[in-house]
Structure 1
Amino acid sequence: MTTTLDPIPTATTAPSAGGLIRGRWLEDWRPEDERFWDGGGRAVARRNLLVSVFSEHIGFSIWSLWSVFVLFLGPNYGISADPKQAAAEKFMLTIVPTAIGSAVRLPYTFAVAKFGGRNWTVISAALLLVPLIATGIALKPGTSYATLLVLAALAGVGGGNFASSMTNINSFFPQRLKGAALGLNAGGGNIGVATVQLIGLLVIATAGKDHPRVMVAIYLPLVVIAIAAAALLQDNIANVRNEKRAMRDACADVHTWLISLLYIGTFGSFIGFGFAFGQVLSNEFGSHFLSAATGRVDPVKVMYLTFLGPLTGSLVRPVGGWLADRLGGARTTLWNFAAMAAAGIVVLVASEQGSLPLFLVGFMALFVFSGIGNGSVYKMIPAVFRLRMGGDQEARRIANAVIGIAGAIGAFGGVLVNIAFRQSFLSSGNGDAAYVGFIAFYALCLAVTWAVYVRPSENRAAGI
């Protein structure tokens, strides 16, 4: 099942204030019609995009809240006093929301056609109030670890906003402008990971590490603004529908799963590292971040660095699409995985030598290349299926379904990243085993990209 626009057999006319909108439903929406687009369609689409970016950004921030909260937490919040066990418990608190966020992406994708894009944006934004209110009530000294797991799970709903937002905006723009619109929408959302960590830094620096619930007080009004903005400024498109056979056909195609594998390597790395980076620095290089007053790791010092990774990874995402437009998506992805493997080797060497500067260089490179890879892998999807299906209409039908599947599976890659870190720190007290696993996986992705999408001359000619 995927989302498509039913054709509307109407004359080539510009949208009118009376005929275009009926109770926030667009009854006549023809973005491919240039006269319609120039006569008012562009303004409507841009207005919906602006609200979508803001709402998705807040969703990403709520999804990433526990990457910040874990830096506040100690034994007084139910965390073990044993360093190895504490690291494992904190990684579990980032694994849970990542897993829930990946699981809800598919139903969120279908919800746009079922309820309407504007209506579902209101609903999905309102759902963000649940983890915020629950956390505001229950996150306090003396709470149990089981309660922390439940609160972390609730934050996972923020991970679904990306899927519904991308599906919704995809319907508003003509084919020639979808790449730029979706890139802006995705990048604006991804930056939410960096934003929540920057806000966490400001909260710790001002209110202190004993007051994590200040984060909730900051985000509650932002969620309310997102709800109001969607309700007042966005629109539903009446002729959007879910196409059930497209999802079935996409699942039967081996390239759906190969593309999803590559997206695990790019987006899975981005979101997984975004959730885990602060913990990795605290556990592996804690001696560099000690507080002079307490002799313990100072989360303020850690968070001066953690937000930089997700920020750079988000900002360079459009670069991946730009390079793919010029070099081909597969070729860009191939060299990008080679760069990610090389950056992983730098991180491993730095970890073994205990070099924080080299470690930061390697990890920043991982964030940069994961962001570039996000753009280049997405660029590959329509090219791969255009080559396989022949006709543009059929290729677009399957490619839209693949985008939804790959988005959900790619997000699950973030779960695997955090599981790898958890097991590595639990068994050896460092992340070396996890880094070896990442390097091996990037090598696998490189081999798949070369063998399936770069090596055959007909694929290169098709511009994949």
Structure 2
Amino acid sequence: MAASRSRGRWIAHWDPEDETFWEDTGRRIAYRNLFFSVLSEHIGFSIWTLWSVLVLFMGPEYGLTPADKFLLTSAVTLVGAIARVPYTFAVALFGGRNWTIVSAGLLLVPTIAAFAVMHPGTSFATFLGVGLLAGIGGGNFASSMTNINAYFPLRKKGWALGMNAGGGNVGVAAIQLVALAVIAASGGPRVLLGIYIPLIVVAAVCAALFMDNLATVRNDTGAARDAARDAHTWIMSFLYVGTFGSFIGYSFAFGQVLTTQFGRTPLQATYLTFIGPLLGSLVRPVGGRLADRYGGARITLWNYVAMAAATAGLIAASMVTSLPLFVIVFVALFVLSGLGNGSTFKMIPGIFQAKALARGLEGEEAVAYGRRLSGASMGLIGAVGALGGVGINLAFRQSFLSSGSGTGAFVAFLAFYGVCFAVTWAVYLRRPAGQAATTVRTETKPQLDYAEV
């Protein structure tokens, strides 16, 4: 059956779990929407992390201390996390295409505002206020993931969500690479901002021309309420703090750590800072693909082990002041955070699908239940996860204020990854003695089989 359209690029019928529908019609439409969703989300991430780059341009003539800069980037991260909640609801209220147009266009506000105030003599309060506007770029992730989740069948969600998020995450590395070129050419921060203003317009126009709205996800704002009542939404939020919170927090902080702790110049730091976010973004679909094959919970569990080991390596590198070892291990930690981002987000639709089966639902009814709650929960999980980036920047700020080094912050991160490992094992992989690892058919029993999610 073909997808039926109504006015305003709304698709009334959408059933990706029907293989005939998917092969004949669904695949082409889903991939087209995925591509242009990635474009908008990519630029959203660039604008969200804009100030992690701008602070590198801000030398002594701007009058900001390292603590001021960490506070500025923490505030921007916080707004991005908060914005993810209403952005999730916006897809159901306005449609995925319609909201992508609006959310892309809104990126002009923080970009033009930064262009206006970026010069020595501007007060820290003004920089902070304008920086807060850039936080709306973080919201694009939530609406994009909620929208794309509805387009793909369950068997392909790990890869599709990984591609969508990974393509967006590349925006972090992209703006750092553009900044590197601008700095190398002796250009100022306004040159960087001038490059992005027309790109934002292109993203909004492409969304208007090539994306669609799905009627099946319209006006279901009650799904967010139901998702918020489910314990798994908050458990997965906690685990996502460990993966995405690490990715976005380190993306904001890496350059400042290099300049503050290792005495690198802004140009020297920028030569290094883009590598970690770039690799961490590109590997996110790999995390989703591995989760599709081996189960998201298993991949997530062992990924936390590797993240803890990498963090221990960073502590050692900080103590001996070895820049090469520090950069190598930090980049490895970025890669692991990207893998974990892919595997944790693959777990979400699997968890709610398992709950649907446990309620006795079957077929399309079970799929609809799982799709409804997983889509709604993604925005909440993404919002809480992004708060990890706030914590990371505040931890670095306090560590540098206390000891002039980031070592204390890394010790705290190591302990947190240990807790994430324990939660993943206890909730999603532990099997009580004597119980078969099978999915039960009632929610009153706690032994749902989440190992394969």
How many correspondences in the alignment?
431
2: CA distance, partners of 1:363 / 1:78: 29
Asked whether 1:427 is paired with 2:402, we answer yes
| Inter-partner Cα distance in structure 1 for 2:349 and 2:31 | 23
Q: 1:252 and 1:335, CA in 2 relative to 1: closer, same or farther beyond 3 A? A: same
Task: Report how far residue 112 of structure 1 moved.
Answer: 1.2
**2:231 pairs with 222, 231, 254, which one?**
254
Specify the SS of the correspondent of 2:150. helix
Q: 2:14 aligns with which of 8, 29, 34?
A: 29
What's 2:110 paired with?
131
Instruction: Report the TM-score, using the length of structure 2 for normalisation.
Output: 0.90
8 Å Cα contact 2:77/2:135 also seen in 1: yes
Distance in 2 (alpha carbons) for counterparts of 1:234 and 1:111: 16
Query: 2: CA distance between counterparts of 1:359 and 1:454?
Result: 33
**Equivalent AA in structure 2 for residue 320 of structure 1:** G
**1:364 shift after superposition:** 1.2
Tell me which amino acid in the other structure corresponds to 1:103: I
1:364-389 residue CA offsets vs partner (Å, 9 max, x unmatched)? 12101111111111222233334444
Provide the residue aligned with 1:337 in structure 2: 304
Could you say what secondary structure the match of 1:214 adopts? helix
Once residues 449 and 319 of structure 2 are traced to their aligned partners in structure 1, the CA distance between those partners, rounded to angstroms, is 40
The Cα of 1:134 is off from its aligned counterpart by 0.7
User: How far did residue 34 of structure 1 move?
Assistant: 4.0
Amino acid corresponding to residue 47 of structure 2 in structure 1:
I
- Name the CA shift for 1:52/1:197 in 2 (closer, same or farther; >3 Å): same
Aligned amino acid, residue 417 of structure 2: Y
Per-residue deviation, 1:77: 2.0
Moved more, 124-133 or 44-53: 44-53
Q: Secondary structure at the match of 1:255?
A: helix
Structure 2 alignment gaps of length 5 or more: 438-447
1:403 aligned to 2:384? Answer: no
Is the 2:254–2:273 contact (alpha carbons within 8 Å) kept by the matching residues of 1? yes
Map 1:11-22; keep pairs closer than 5 Å: 13-15=1-3, 20-22=5-7
Mark the CA change 1:37 to 1:453 in structure 2 (over 3 Å): closer, same or farther: closer
Partners of 1:36 and 1:454 in 2: how far apart? 35
Residues 91 and 422 in structure 1, CA contact (< 8 A), matched pair in contact too: yes
Q: Cα deviation per residue 1:131-156 (whole Å; 9 max; x = unaligned)?
A: 11111111112111111101110110
Aligned pairs (5 A) from 1:237-316: 237-286=214-263, 289=264, 298-316=265-283
3-state SS in 1 of match to 2:218:
strand
Residue 462 of structure 1: CA displacement? 4.8
Whether 1:196 aligns to 2:183 is no
SS in 1 for 2:189: coil
Matched, 1:371 2:338: yes
Range that drifts further, 276-285 or 324-333? 324-333
2:135 equivalent to 1:177: no
Distance 1:325 1:60, change over 3 A: same
Shift of 1:353: 0.7
- TM-score by length of structure 1 reads 0.88
In structure 1, C-alpha distance between the alignment counterparts of 2:90 and 2:223, rounded to whole Å: 16
Structure 2 vs 1, CA of residues 251 and 283 (structure 1 numbering), >3 Å: closer, same or farther? same
Q: Select which of 103, 110, 114 maps to 2:82.
A: 103
Do 2:315 and 2:407's aligned partners in 1 also have CA atoms closer than 8 Å? yes
1:229 corresponds in structure 2 to: 206
1:20, 1:29 within 8 Å by CA — same for their partners in 2? Answer: no
Change beyond 3 A, Cα 1:314–1:138: same
Is the 1:387–1:462 contact (alpha carbons within 8 Å) kept by the matching residues of 2?
no
Counterpart-to-counterpart distance in 2, 1:362 and 1:424:
19
Contact 1:321 1:379 in 2 (8 A): yes
Q: Find the partner of 1:447 among 415, 422, 432.
A: 422
Q: 1:463 maps to which residue?
A: 452
How well do the aligned residues superpose, as a CA RMSD in angstroms?
A: 1.9
CA contact (8 A) 1:344 1:438 kept: yes
8 Å CA contact 1:20, 1:26 repeated in 2:
yes
Aligned partners of 1:125 and 1:227 also within 8 Å:
yes
Deviations 1:239-278 (A, max 9, x none): 3224344333332333222211111000000000011100
Q: How does 1:314-353 map to 2 (within 5 A)?
A: 314-353=281-320
Matched, 1:149 2:128: yes
Aligned to 1:121: 100
> Matches of 1:46 and 1:35 in 2, distance apart?
16
Contact 1:14 1:38 in 2 (8 A): no
Deviation at 1:313?
0.7
Alpha-carbon spacing, 1:168–1:305, altered in 2? closer, same or farther (3 Å): same
User: How far apart, CA to CA, are the structure 2 residues paired with 1:146 and 1:279?
Assistant: 20
Q: Counterpart in 1 of 2:445?
A: none
Distance in 2 between the 1:267 and 1:461 partners?
21
Counterpart-to-counterpart distance in 1, 2:375 and 2:416: 26
Q: For the structure 1 residues 39 and 377, does the alpha-carbon distance in structure 2 shift closer, same or farther, using more than 3 Å as the test?
A: closer
Deviations for 1:55-114, whole angstroms, at most 9, x for unmatched residues?
1100000001111001111232231xxxxxx11101112111110001010111111121
Which residue is equivalent to 1:53?
38
Stretches of structure 1 that go unaligned for 5 or more consecutive residues are 1-12, 80-85, 290-297
Q: Which range moved further: 109-118 or 388-397? A: 388-397
SS of the equivalent of 1:168 reads: helix
How far apart are the structure 2 equivalents of 1:424 and 1:232?
48
Letter in 2 for 1:398: L
SS at 1:23 equivalent: coil
